[in-house]
Amino acid sequence: MKVCIFGAGTLGGHLAARFITAKNTDLSLVGRGAQLAAIRERGISLTTGGKQYGGKAAIATDNPASLPQQDIVFVALKGQMLPAAAQAIGRLVKPDGCAVFLLNGIPWWFNHALPGKQGTLPLLDPDGALWREVRPERVLGGVAYSPNTLVAPGVIAHAGHNRWVFGEPDNSMSARLKSVVDVVGGTGIEAVASTGIRQEIFRKMSGNASNNSLGALTRLDTAAIAEDDGLAELATRIISETLAVAAKLGCDMSNEINPAEVARRSRGKPGQKPSTVQDAIAGKSLEIDGLIGQTQAFARELGVATPVIDVCYALLRGLDASFRLK
């Protein structure tokens, strides 16, 4: 099976290291910069649970056009980078293949296969390039519960849970979904098929939207946010607002998730800095539209009040703009 990881950074690098060790795919990697240089020179190193995974990939490139078409393309780019890569991703997917988007937050294909909904989400896919080039009917959703840190180029440390959930936009149990779950599960990752992938997306966002947003604005890790009463209260309100939007969209988890408990879950566990926080510290562009911006857009469409999200999103957009001025 030909498999490509498009975006072999932190999360993509974790999956790449697993595949390299398992030797269960014909693997190619698309990367860039210092990370790609390190992968080419030394390979990928993943440390988790006292074990080491990785090695050198047979193919690692910054030119996706040089690769043949793939059975599965795992896309691990940040959301803000996707539109520019739409044509390259679309070309890589075989006619009967699929693209699996491992995104934080709401994906561009969200409306696909929903009754009464059609077309892309302009905030996430401004010119419709992803909808047109990749095509939503060739997409699977992915939610990775897998905290990773890029220690150095090509060197990844993982700690904590490692559960990866995949699903069809129409919530069916398809042959290609089973194939993806089997190949990822064959690496030792806990891989799960979901018949409610949008709900799974919002389930992860219930914590991610608050920790990533407040962490990027304060540079604090998740434990420090949880231990500060004022920040924990803001986190609780972001989670509550996110869940209110989710419920209006048919993903009601009010009986499953307690916002205050989620906001305080990281107390006493210092050191974990979500990807948006790591990017803010490094002065990189921020993945905020899928995590919090599209929630605001849905809220305005549905008439849901999101006062804390409104303030945080405005501040995050300003912070992101300041990085672009450098």
Per-domain residue ranges of the chain:
2-195, 199-324
Architecture of the domain defined by 199-324: Orthogonal Bundle (1.10)
Which pLDDT does position 143 carry in this prediction? 98
pLDDT by position in tens, the chain (length 326): 999 999 999 999 999 999 999 999 999 999 999 999 999 999 999 999 999 999 999 999 999 999 999 999 999 999 999 999 999 999 999 999 999 999 989 999 999 999 988 899 999 999 999 999 999 999 999 999 999 999 999 999 999 899 999 999 999 999 999 999 999 999 999 999 999 999 999 999 988 999 999 999 999 999 999 999 999 999 999 999 999 999 999 999 999 999 999 999 888 778 888 889 999 999 999 999 999 999 999 999 999 999 999 999 999 999 999 998 86
The DSSP 8-state label assigned to residue 270 in this structure reads T
Strand ranges for 62-183 from DSSP E:
70-75, 93-102, 139-145, 148-152, 155-158, 163-167
CATH of domain 2-195: 3.40.50.720
Q: Which of 2, 94, 204, 284 is catalytic?
A: 204
Please state the pTM of the whole predicted model: 0.96
Considering only CA atoms, which of 270, 286, 203 is closest in space to residue 239?
203
The reported pLDDT for the residue numbered 269 is 78
What residues form DSSP beta bridges with 20?
Answer: none
Look up 204 and say whether it is catalytic.
yes
Q: How far apart (Å, rounded) are the C-alpha atoms in residues 81 and 73?
A: 16
Q: How, if at all, do strands 70-75 and 93-102 pair?
A: parallel
Instruction: Give the model's pLDDT for residue 87.
Output: 98
pLDDT of 47 reads 98
Integer Cα distance of 86 and 130 in angstroms: 5
Q: How far is CA 13 from CA 3, 126, 273, 283, in A?
A: 14, 28, 17, 21
- HEC per residue, 154-175: CEEEECCCCEEEEECCCCCCCH
Phi, psi for residue 5 in degrees, rounded to 5: -105, 110
Q: How far apart are CA 29 and CA 310, in angstroms?
A: 37
pLDDT at 325: 84
